[in-house]
Amino acid sequence: MCGIVGYIGNREAYPILIKGLHRLEYRGYDSAGIALIDSESNLHVYKTKGKVANLEQYCKDKNISGTIGIAHTRWATHGEPNDVNAHPHYSQSENLALIHNGIIENYLPLRQMLEKNGFTFVSQTDTEVLVQFIEYVRSKSQCSLYEAVHQALSQVVGAYAIGVLEKGNADVLVAARKGSPLIVGVGEQEYFLGSDASPIVEYTKNVIYLGEEEIVEIKRGSSDILIKNLSNVKLKPQIQKIQMDLSEIEKGGFEHFMLKEIFEQPKSLEMCMNGRVQTEMQEIILSGIRDNIAKFRNARRILITACGTSWHAALIGKYLIEYYCKIPVEVEVASEFRYRNPVVFEDDVLIAISQSGETADTLAAIELAKANGAFIYGICNAVGSSVARLTHSGTYTHAGPEIGVASTKAFTTQVAVLTMITLLLGKELGTIDDSTYKHLVTSLSEVSKKIEKILSKADKIEQISKVFTYARNFMYLGRGYNYPVALEGALKLKEISYIHAEGYPAAEMKHGPIALVDEEMPIVVVAPKFKIYDKIVSNIEELKARKGKIIAIVTEGDTNIANIADYVIEIPSTEECLSPLLTVIPLQLLSYYIATAKGRNVDQPRNLAKSVTVE
Ligand code: M6R
């Protein structure tokens, strides 16, 4: 939540910062702001409520010159989204400007202390407290900006990624992180800051992933990058190459990132399986699992934790692993797991799933399980993210950057990784027979082509969506592997269209939700033809008897359900355990088309942010 950009070098900072903000806007879009130091070393802050485009408009008649600057796009935590609460925040003397992603938990006692010392505040934000506190420390100990930031952060409780500028100090940019991501881009005689690599990749592929509690000072024209941690230990900067292409973070002719990402799924799944699903040998190769097979073999149970869409993928993981590997699996949303004092054994394996790798609750759940001695395995998309660094081992999903707030290709690649893990584990543990293993490996490799087929019929789904823009409620039903898909379909619809939607196990519907069914109620039933097909057909009959409007996701050629349901959307036939990879695609498209028909901003839905780095 919140996006941070920074620049110091020989070019004009403003265009770089604005472009960077546009790329990070998916992280929050309540308000945006920019701070620049001009050639006379004056510090200017411009900020305004609303999106980055509003900021650009606002800056049109302002002095936006300067070769050093910081910028911010906000998802409000403390204080409503307005001009005053927008970042950057000035210190009292207006000598310092600071941008911040995270939450300063002890901001109240700090604020009270500062007020006693004559500081006054213009905003309700914790960020203003932090910048004032840095100024206070700086004036007390007459130290450098870097030292003041260091000393101040030593007394701060909470999470932060920050960038700080100082009037009269046009050659120095100080930044720090704890709990929120921050990357330093290292170019020729220039440096960049970004919450992720998207504002940086256009200029350099050399980056430093700032570690936990690390503070960096970058200086104009100097190749020395000073990094110390909060314990004052000097660290050697580790420069890494980012594997990201500019085309991956652009819309590429699609109207929205979400649609682009839905259509990218055949490709992202191929990237995910590349080198891992060996079709000729009919083998799965996953070094993270192979190298740690003893941990899984000896595991008392597997815990899987995640949030949102990643949690839905985790639920599918439970169906997969318990069925094929015979290891007990418990799945829990990370925010519940971390706070309920769960029993975690040293011989547990915890799998943490996260697209961004930065979700605060998921990170806290990892820390908790780690402290209890469990082996931690990460499944994440963002290379170099906190999940990747905090876990003992793991598998990247390689979905490529996901910019749309609604998760689509992240979900299918997470499910693909869980499937690969299951197959390999099952084979190693001897719980899957060889012919089933080989058959499933081959079937998995065919999924991308089948998704292409579903996508080629997107027009039909768009037509169906037009019928349902009236709806105020939706119900999604599924059974077995497709129960989590029903949950995911409901989440997709509500987050981008603002239509209320609920997902249920289909048979649960008779225990309450059926009371909601009338001729106004659209019910999406995920009903591919597998072993409990007859039961789900009965469920559809029961709903039809109450005049519900049925949109059924069925296996190709299913004339039976076609005769009962109001609308059917076909998916190619596949194995039951692989079906979520196909059935979710029409649900993503249905949500997308309903939301766009209602004029919603699907890439940046209200109140949401892509990466939930605060609790
Ligand atoms: O980055 P993560 O996978 O950890 O994010 C978890 C959720 O915040 C995320 O899946 C969210 O639910 C999506 N907006 C759903 O589309």
What pLDDT, on the 0 to 100 scale, is given for residue 513?
87
Question: CB-hemisphere CA count at 13 Å for 542?
Answer: 18
What pLDDT, on the 0 to 100 scale, is given for residue 337?
95
> Which of 407, 415, 614 gets mutated to test ligand 1 (max ligand atoms within 8 A of its CB)?
407
The pLDDT tens digits for 143-163 are 999 999 999 999 999 989 999
Give the whole-angstrom CA distance, residue 382 versus residue 331. 22
Residue closest by Cα to atom 9 of ligand 1 = 308
The whole-number average pLDDT for the span 121-140 is 94
How far from 86 is each of 35, 77, 269, 318, CA to CA, in Å? 12, 11, 39, 42
DSSP-derived secondary structure for 315-336:
HHHHHHHHHHH---EEEEEHHH
The answer to whether 366 and 350 are in contact (CB under 8 A) is yes
pLDDT of 246 over the 80 cut: no
pLDDT of 251 over the 90 cut: no
Q: Is 313 in the pocket of ligand 1 (CB under 6 A)?
A: no
Q: Is 151 in the pocket of ligand 1 (CB under 6 A)?
A: no
Ligand 1: centre distance to CA 410 (Å): 9
Number of other residues whose CB lies within 10 A of the CB of residue 471: 17
Residue 48's Cα: distance from chain center in Å?
26
Q: Is 406 in the pocket of ligand 1 (CB under 6 A)?
A: yes
φ, ψ at 526 (rounded to 5°): -90, 105
Q: Which domains does the chain have, with CATH numbers?
A: 3-248 (3.60.20.10), 251-445 (3.40.50.10490), 455-598 (3.40.50.10490)
Ligand 1: centre distance to CA 405 (Å): 8
pLDDT of 611 over the 90 cut: no
Ligand 1: centre distance to CA 307 (Å): 6
> Which of 180, 307, 335, 491 gets mutated to test ligand 1 (max ligand atoms within 8 A of its CB)?
307
Q: What is the CA radius of gyration of the chain?
A: 25
User: Which of the four pLDDT bands, split at 50, 70 and 90, describes residue 456?
Assistant: very high
pLDDT of 244 over the 90 cut: no
The whole-number average pLDDT for the span 550-562 is 96
Q: What's the mean pLDDT when you consider all of the chain?
A: 94
pLDDT of 245 over the 80 cut: no
Give the whole-angstrom CA distance, residue 39 versus residue 330. 59
The whole-number average pLDDT for the span 29-49 is 94
Q: Is 356 in the pocket of ligand 1 (CB under 6 A)?
A: yes
Give the whole-angstrom CA distance, residue 384 versus residue 56. 31
The kind and range of the H/E element at 301 are: strand 301-306
How far from 302 is each of 319, 349, 350, 375, 385, CA to CA, in Å? 12, 5, 6, 10, 23
Number of other residues whose CB lies within 10 A of the CB of residue 37: 27
The kind and range of the H/E element at 160 are: strand 158-166
Active-site residues: which are they? 2, 610
Residue closest by Cα to atom 11 of ligand 1 = 308
User: Which of the four pLDDT bands, split at 50, 70 and 90, describes residue 29?
Assistant: confident
Number of other residues whose CB lies within 10 A of the CB of residue 155: 11
pLDDT of 58 over the 80 cut: yes
The pLDDT tens digits for 352-386 are 999 999 999 999 999 999 999 999 999 999 988 88
What pLDDT, on the 0 to 100 scale, is given for residue 583?
98
What is residue 19's DSSP assignment?
A: H
What pLDDT, on the 0 to 100 scale, is given for residue 84?
87
What pLDDT, on the 0 to 100 scale, is given for residue 478?
96
What pLDDT, on the 0 to 100 scale, is given for residue 75?
82
What percent of the chain is modeled with pLDDT above 90?
86
Residue closest by Cα to atom 12 of ligand 1 = 308
Give the whole-angstrom CA distance, residue 127 versus residue 129. 5
pLDDT of 36 over the 80 cut: yes
Give the whole-angstrom CA distance, residue 441 versus residue 286. 13
pLDDT of 96 over the 80 cut: yes
Closest CA to 68 of 184, 163, 149, 173: 173
Residue 138 bridge partners (DSSP): none
pLDDT of 403 over the 80 cut: yes
User: In 242-390, which residue ranges form alpha helices assigned H by DSSP?
Assistant: 257-263, 265-273, 287-290, 293-297, 308-325, 334-339, 360-371, 386-390
The whole-number average pLDDT for the span 303-322 is 98
Closest CA to 286 of 294, 277, 299, 296: 277
**Given the CA of residue 380, which atom of ligand 1 is nearest to it?**
3
The pLDDT tens digits for 253-294 are 899 999 999 999 999 999 999 999 998 889 999 999 999 999
pLDDT of 176 over the 90 cut: yes
The whole-number average pLDDT for the span 416-435 is 97
